[in-house]
Amino acid sequence: MRFLNIVIFLFTLCITLTFLFLILLWIYIDYENIPNLVRNPKKEYDYIIIGSGTAGSTLAWALSKQSNCSILLIEAGTKFNLLSKIPIASISLQGNERTDWKFKTVPQQWSSKGFINQQQKWPRGKGIGGSAQINYMLHFGGVRKDFDELELYGGQNWSFQKLKKFLSMPLDYEPDQMCYKIEGQNFCSETPNEFFKISFREIPITKIDPIKSKLTEAFLESANDLSQSVRFKASEYYTKNGYRHSTYHTYLKPSFYHTNLQILTETIAMKIIFDNGNNATGVLVSRDYENPFEIKANKEILLCTGAVQTPQLLKVSGIGPKNELESHNIKVIAINYFVGKNLYDHFNMPLFVTVNSSLTVNLKKLLSLDSILEYIQNGTGVYSNMAIYGQGSALNRNYGMLLFAMGSADEKVLRDVSNLNSETFKKFFPFHYNHSEEGFVALSTCHKPKSRGQISISGNSIYDEPLIDPRYLESHEDVKCMLDAVKLSFEVVQSRALQKLGAKIHWPLINECITTENLKHDMLPSDEYLECVLRYGALTAHHPGGSCSFGLNESAVDETLRVRGVNRLRVVDASVIPVPVSGTPNYIISVIAKRAADLILNET
């Protein structure tokens, strides 16, 4: 009998792998050609853009479309693996050295006690499209507070009035339904005016349908039972016909046919070159770790390399804190103490919840022939999204939660992308060994963390590992905010709608956190226990920013994104956003890139 079961399993696995191969073959047929890809670039261009992530892709499109200037887009990676198109499969690209920079934080003092050496892995996309090619594709349109904060730090250049022309409802968008509890009244409605539910007109958005997802439906209904005012919604993804559709697909791909844009891949920008007047005149690049050569910029150089590598590149080029540069024998071009400071990131606290119905994603379903056929035929099902079925926030508060409908977590995959040690993983995901387990992970998060870290350099070369120190949970305000988020998640699990599904929360049995406490599914543990567990197992949300913030005065870049202390050099990426936005930042980054193009073209 055991032999027969093994034969059946192997037969099913072979069929599954065959169909996966057919999917990849199907995608390969549609694989993009890049006609403006160059091997030998010209000696000079008007603009040089470094980095082709969300900001770089959008900026390259905007500048090449709206001007006749010559533009070079430099990317360290190459075209992404075909798996990036299949949403649920793209997580396999995290931790892959061809598609991920594979950064790690330095050992953390106030968090990450359940991680190897108390270090968290920070996946960052390497290749055309950047991190938007390996992320979870969640759409967040921003709330008014996010835009008000941009104006607070950046002045009129970043007022909502200046930005709103870049914000619009997409053509194919249906008004979103959200469920609220406001001042004791429960209702579901379209987004109220105070929430700017706005999105790129060009980018398609696919929403989890509550009618088809009973778990999402229960999540929305849970708002009726909560003690606080909330806003819950079904998750929305940047997908089209079941495939990833990021800013790369919407903006950069059409730009392949712009004759004034050239793209140089597999090329590292080693440093920015300056003349005696502190004018950025070119970029020193290398394709083979040797034989560097310079490409000149007649107008400006635009850094779009992200919250980690932008401050690193500035520092190895001679812009940053004087003592740090001199300690690595770097010639000081401009003293700028704010480069690399103000680093922030969202933090997620995972809590596993079991349910007694077949409503979630697990390994058995992923290997199911029916699931593969559904994806091939309809572009729907478990392969068509990242299994985050719902998003919720407490109104007028800085915390919320995500409903990650993954019933079985593969230990190797999750540990490879997080750096959790084996013991902690098993405490947080107690049923990881059961490939047919039904459940979800309640991810509690603080939208506006106060803790601030920094990006430092470990040497004078761009090839030296950057030192990433987010200083998670240094601020006690963040601890309180995260505990409030956990309590919101607990309330959701205890709601009537979730209890009908048999929802049970499984508190992590961390020995160092359990004293005399008797942990029960339906009881909220003490704050002392929750804080201890938080400091052991909370994970990065992969939303770093702020490390080259813009501002009117004391900041790394000014309100027009020019790097202070030099000329003809700007930063356009997540590092310029001075405070965290209230959700996934991808959308805001593209808005900033469009606004940057507007500023650049209006000044020339």
Q: Which residues of the chain have pLDDT under 50?
A: 29-30, 169-176, 182-183, 189-201
Under 8 Å between Cβ of 137 and 235: no
DSSP H/E element including 412: helix 411-418
Distance of CA 143 to the CA centre of its chain: 18
Under 8 Å between Cβ of 79 and 32: yes
Give the model's pLDDT for residue 186: 57
Find the catalytic residue in 139, 346, 447, 543. 543
Give the model's pLDDT for residue 211: 78
DSSP H/E element including 505: strand 504-506
Q: Per DSSP, which regions of 59-174 are E strands? A: 71-74, 103-104, 121-122
SS3 for 395?
coil
Domain boundaries, the chain: 44-137+248-306+544-574+584-603, 205-237+346-450+474-537
CB atoms within 10 A of CB 181: 21
* Those residues with Cβ within 8 angstroms of residue 17's Cβ, 6 or more apart along the chain or in another chain: none
Give the model's pLDDT for residue 91: 85
368: tokens are 């199911």
Measure the CA–CA gap between 213 and 242, rounded to whole angstroms. 16
Q: What is the DSSP letter of 404?
A: E
Q: What angle do CA 252, 253, 258 make, to 5 degrees?
A: 75
Give the model's pLDDT for residue 24: 59
Give the model's pLDDT for residue 169: 39
Fold adopted by 205-237+346-450+474-537: Cholesterol Oxidase; domain 2 (3.30.410)
Under 8 Å between Cβ of 565 and 319: yes
Q: Say yes or no: do domains 44-137+248-306+544-574+584-603 and 205-237+346-450+474-537 share a fold.
A: no
Measure the CA–CA gap between 253 and 33, rounded to whole angstroms. 9
CB atoms within 10 A of CB 343: 25
Q: Label residues 17-50 b or e (16+ Cβ within 10 Å = b).
A: eebbeebbeeeeeeeeeeebbeeebeeebbbbbb
Give the model's pLDDT for residue 26: 53
Measure the CA–CA gap between 30 and 23, rounded to whole angstroms. 11
Confirm whether 543 is a catalytic residue.
Answer: yes
3-state secondary structure 193-257: CCCCCCECCCCCCEECCCCCCHHHHHHHHHHHHCCCCEEEEECEECEECCEECCHHHHHHHHHCC
Domain 44-137+248-306+544-574+584-603, CATH:
3.50.50.60
Measure the CA–CA gap between 332 and 252, rounded to whole angstroms. 35
Give the model's pLDDT for residue 393: 94
Q: What is the DSSP letter of 130?
A: G
12: tokens are 């099913």
